[in-house]
Structure 1
């Protein structure tokens, strides 16, 4: 429980910092398309940071294995947002090909979270 709350706090901080860096540090240094890609990475990182908070909070109420959902969200943040951050500043398409794996991880996390909520609440 506490671990996922700490992971969420760290990801929230990183998300805000990278959002500010994208808005102020990358403007004029990367194309508009790449700046939008950076913003998409920030958005999805923050959305799933909130999901990590939900997992951490629900772990005190639900006996089911919410940890798997939390880890899926974290892996999704790393693969989805991480690959888009790198792609945005390098334009190396290989990194963009990793992004869907992160998306699948997000989907798995949501399915696991939904299952736990339906079964245990």
Structure 2
């Protein structure tokens, strides 16, 4: 679980950096993509750390991996990559949703 904790912490740092770049170095649609990616990535970095604390390994990996795909594609487009990458973004979103559902299921089983 050390690896996923480290990746979640790095994910949080990247989210803050991209949010700052969105606020101070980007404009228009690029700033929106960077801001959205940063917001989702930061929330799910924290969620991954909570999942690690709960010993919920699967949800933690889905939060880190889904956040990387979701935010990564938005970051790439915000930095000038082709907009067809937007078709990949929902794959990361599905990972995030599955992480939340798995965490809910794991929490229910621990009563």
Q: Same fold (TM over 0.5)?
A: yes
| Residue matched to 1:56 | 52
Partner residue of 2:75 out of 62, 85, 91: 85
Match of 1:46 in 2: 42
In the comparison of the two structures, how many residue pairs are matched?
A: 111
Query: Aligned Cα RMSD in Å?
Result: 1.5
Kindly provide the CA deviation profile for residues 17-65 of structure 1, in whole angstroms up to 9, marking residues without a partner as x: 22112222224xxxx1221121000000011011111111111xxxxxx
User: Is 1:97–2:97 an aligned residue pair?
Assistant: no
- Structure 1: unaligned runs, 5 residues or longer: 60-65
Normalised by the size of structure 2, how large is the TM-score? Answer: 0.90
Q: Which runs of 5+ in 2 are unaligned?
A: none
Looking at structure 2, the residues matched to 102 and 5 of structure 1 have their Cα atoms a distance apart, in angstroms, of 19
Report the TM-score when normalising by structure 1. 0.83
Deviation at 1:120, TM superposition (A): 1.2
Structure of greater Rg = 1
- How far apart are the structure 1 equivalents of 2:93 and 2:5? 22
* Residue in 2 that maps onto 1:62: none
CA distance in 1, matches of 2:79, 2:3: 31
Deviation at 1:91, TM superposition (A): 5.4
